[in-house]
Amino acid sequence: MSVVGEYRRILGDLSATLAASSSSSAQRFGRALDQAKVERAPHVTAAAERALAIIEGEHTLAASELGNTIERERITDQLDHFVAICRVVLGR
């Protein structure tokens, strides 16, 4: 799979998990990450930069805001994976 394909897949999985969360904070965070979809950015690099700005910026999501342990671990794992692919895209 290409880097762009992997970026899309991971962001799609993360967005679906956040949307299905019992936490309204997680749902808001997921809506903010929708701005980082590749279809809305002219290039995957710009999308990855936007994603990291969202994640590291005002839309941070604290683990304490999430529901149960299983949900928290799933979101944390997916978010870590997504941050890693964003860094690969950006060469960091």
Q: Where are the domains of the chain?
A: 3-90
Query: pLDDT 10s digit of each residue in the chain, 92 long?
Result: 688 888 999 999 999 999 998 888 888 888 988 888 886 556 889 999 999 998 888 656 666 667 677 888 888 899 999 999 999 999 98
39 exposed, middle or buried (CB, 10 Å; 0-12, 13-18, 19+)?
exposed
| pLDDT the model gives residue 29 | 87
Q: Does residue 29 contact residue 59 with C-beta atoms inside 8 Å?
A: yes
pTM: 0.84
Q: How far apart are CA 3 and CA 24, in angstroms?
A: 30
| CB-side neighbour CA atoms (13 Å) of 17 | 19
- Torsion 24-26-29-35 (CA) sign: negative
